[in-house]
Structure 1
Amino acid sequence: MYKSALRDYTRKRIEQIEKSDILVGIPCYNSEKTIAHVIETVSEGLHKHFNHMRNVVFIADGGSTDDTREVVKDVQLKPWQEKIVSIYRGPAGKGSALRSIFEAAVWLDVKACAVVDADIRSITSNWIKSLIEPVLENGYQFVAPVYIRHKYDGTITNNIVYYLIRALYGKRIRQPIGGDFAFSKEVADFYISQPVWDTDVARFGVDIWMTTEAIFNQFEICQACLGVKVHEAKDPAVHLGPMFRQVMWTLFSLMEEHETYWKKIKNSVTVKNFGCYSFMEPEPIKIDLKRLIYYFKIGFKQFKSLWKEILDPDTYETIKTVSRLPIKKFHIPTEIWARILYELAATFHYWPINRHNLINIMEPLYYGRVASFIVETWSMSNQEAEELVEKQAQIFEEQKEYLLKIWETKKEKFRLLANKIK
């Protein structure tokens, strides 16, 4: 495990700058097509809204094999702004990039730090104001984003993460893994001190870890309305398997760590929003519905005996029925989906070894749920689909008693099953 994600040359560059009021970090990897626009927009936002302060733009690269760093070096910032280009140390992934940004923020003794993704095509200069101002002017310590997204963008958020964070921890943070956020130096210092940087958190699990820890440690949290999000969206049937596995591992691990906290939470509360916008339709996203359903049905054939032992009998029978449905009638009810996730969380809790196997056999269920959501919202506008997500989130809250029950009652069964398929 590296003691620092910063290389010596990066640390020397930071020492030359000495101090900054604001740092904006941009984690990147093979982002040559989009990163110049992001940096230029960040620079414009800092110049437009915080020109009276000392500002640094920090590029945390994961060892890109394209021309990302060459593009970055050629981008000119506005006057009186500093740029740092660094290749981070540590496990490959966004978490290690963010660790280097946290360290830079603490070393520079910043008043506020923001992070934006390198593939955001819809970023505007006002994003920088919306993210940073609540920290500087209103005393908030962690700022999460609120976007307008296409209904089939963010399938892990819309079908899993938002529901669980809201039901477990009682905060209606709409984009817990949104990617663009802000925080205070004290929060950055806290994140650095945690022993997670050689785990999956250092890969794709970092966003959900940050949000959960911000809630658990009772940091002052708000949301910044950023408007439409347009980025390099990924088809869940093709690209999101690794991210799904690492996010689920982090979610379930944090459930164990903070068990005494979330068990006491009864209802959810809204989180204050800064900024407002009128609803706009984002650009469409291509998604392979047939492939999603195919992966689910193949998964059922492969794992049905294990699903039958893990899941409640009624839940399993519903999934068995769904596996026979044609595309137009394909549907996993939200009540059943909530029970599936809760049962899998409880199973994970008592799974003694090789937990990655459990996450792997979950993956087809995720594909099936996404396919179900697509079929259900096919004729809906994005705003109508968003309203449905809110209704379904309430169902997860109502089903929480079921989680509390099985968390305690299925201990021995799950231990025996884990030993059976290890």
Structure 2
Amino acid sequence: MANRDRVTVVGIPARDEARTVGLVASAADAGLHRASPDGVNVVVLAENGSTDGTVERFAETPLRARGEVVSSPGVGTGKGTNVFAVMDRALELAADRVLLLDADVRSAEPEWVERLADAVAGAEPVLAVPAYRRDRYEANTTNHLASPLLAAVYGVHVQQPIGGEFAFNRAFLERSRGWPRPESASLYGIDVWLTANALREHVRVVEVPLGRKLHNSPFPKILRLPQQVLDSLFHVVLRTDRVRPAGPGGAGGRSAVDGTSVRQDPEVVSRVSASVVRYLEAHREDVRRLFPSAEGVRSAPWGLRVTSEVWPHVLADALAAVAAGLFEPARDHLVALYVNRVLTFWEEIDGLAGSEVDRLLDRQAAATVRAVRDRGVVLGGGGAGPGRFDVRHWAGFNGEPVTPRCSGALFRA
């Protein structure tokens, strides 16, 4: 195919990102011009209910590519709604390559588009995912949930499986049309839905180095984003034939931790910790039953001290529970334990160099692979996840902040 006939689409999923959407669109446009100067290039803003001028800022941004806006209602929609809208528009345009750039990124560069576009050239289905450096206090859902769980189930270590800056070709786009879409995939579960399905179907996944990523901190979403990610991931896991052996090379050494870091707002951390304490107290017996590996965890100022030694076995407990048909309690209780893992991790890495943090995360992922293997988790039983996803799960646990108090006896008789 001549270069002038190639159609490349960059999709920017957004909701209320007026401050940064113009910068992202400009980087996308410049990158498209470099990657495909004679092709048909389209930048699609997919937004759902923006009220801050996001659409107007995008429309005001000068583009050499064709600019389009696809809008969805705000109620009951999320990031995945916007990504699916980009994918649908790409199919209508008969796009050869589709790239996704998060709208809140402050470090997007034209080179990102070039590298991602080059990575998905060819006729066979391929998914390109980012590999970049992040603030050590960010990427928590990636580091402690998505990456180790995918490694444990599929035997492949993906450094940034929910990074947002993705790319895929037409063959991948066509393949994805047949994948079931749980409701959470229309929310923040979309990224892991793409990556996990690619691994499940043995589609080639390419990691593309993108340097440093700067964007708005996702920590205030820590009680809902990981639940949506886990819901989509567990749906895909239940459609997987078996736990697969680790591929050659093992975890491979990551280089994901940036030298610059900013601690999270202590008031937000306190509020989140208090919510989790209330949740664990309300579900004490069920948590103890589903997560026997957490027996004996000790108390901490934020609640529970869930260490890097314990955490891989907690993840194995979760997968065993999902395989046994306990999808929703495994998902929801794991979120509460995950928050305690994140806050414990922050204590563990205090004073460590970035390379040491990387090695700790590599060891944690490798230990998760071993824990799941040793547990003998059996998949492929034909089970199915819940048909509905309730975004109000944490309602009732998000009251005024209190001093977190969680006894180390929470998981002991």
TM range (shorter): 0.7 to 0.9
Shift of 1:295: 4.3
1:135 equivalent in alignment to 2:120:
yes
2:87 counterpart (99, 102, 107): 102
SS at match of 1:99: helix
1:205 equivalent in alignment to 2:189:
yes
1:54 equivalent in alignment to 2:40:
yes
Mapping for residues 14-413 of structure 1, pairs under 5 Å: 21-78=7-64, 81-88=65-72, 91-136=76-121, 141-196=126-181, 199-235=183-219, 238-258=220-240, 260-261=241-242, 263-267=243-247, 269=249, 281-288=259-266, 290-291=270-271, 293-312=273-292, 315-319=293-297, 322=298, 324-326=299-301, 331-351=305-325, 355-404=327-376
Superposed CA deviations along residues 176-213 of structure 1, whole A, max 9, x for unmatched, are 111011000121122233331x6211111111111011
Shift of 1:228: 0.5
Relative to structure 1, the CA distance from residue 140 to residue 228 in structure 2 (aligned partners, 3 Å threshold; closer, same or farther) is: farther
Shift of 1:302: 2.6
Give RMSD over aligned pairs.
3.0
Shift of 1:172: 1.5
- Looking at structure 2, the residues matched to 240 and 332 of structure 1 have their Cα atoms a distance apart, in angstroms, of 17
Contact preservation (8 Å) 1:176, 1:208: yes
Q: Which amino acid aligns with 1:35?
A: V
Judge which range, 35-44 or 62-71, deviates more. 62-71
Shift of 1:281: 2.3
Report which of the two has the higher share of helix: 1
Shift of 1:366: 1.3
Superposed CA deviations along residues 258-285 of structure 1, whole A, max 9, x for unmatched, are 0x23x24244657999xx9998524524
SS at match of 2:306: coil
Contact preservation (8 Å) 2:319, 2:377: no
Contact preservation (8 Å) 2:316, 2:368: no
Shift of 1:293: 4.6
> Runs ≥4 in structure 1, deviation > 6 angstroms?
137-140, 270-273, 276-279
Identical aligned residues as a percent: 22
Relative to structure 1, the CA distance from residue 124 to residue 283 in structure 2 (aligned partners, 3 Å threshold; closer, same or farther) is: farther
Structure 2 unaligned blocks of 5 or more:
384-413
- Looking at structure 2, the residues matched to 316 and 240 of structure 1 have their Cα atoms a distance apart, in angstroms, of 21
Q: Which amino acid aligns with 1:376?
A: E
SS at match of 2:376: helix
Relative to structure 1, the CA distance from residue 309 to residue 271 in structure 2 (aligned partners, 3 Å threshold; closer, same or farther) is: closer
Q: Which amino acid aligns with 1:338?
A: P
Contact preservation (8 Å) 1:141, 1:220: yes
Shift of 1:287: 4.5
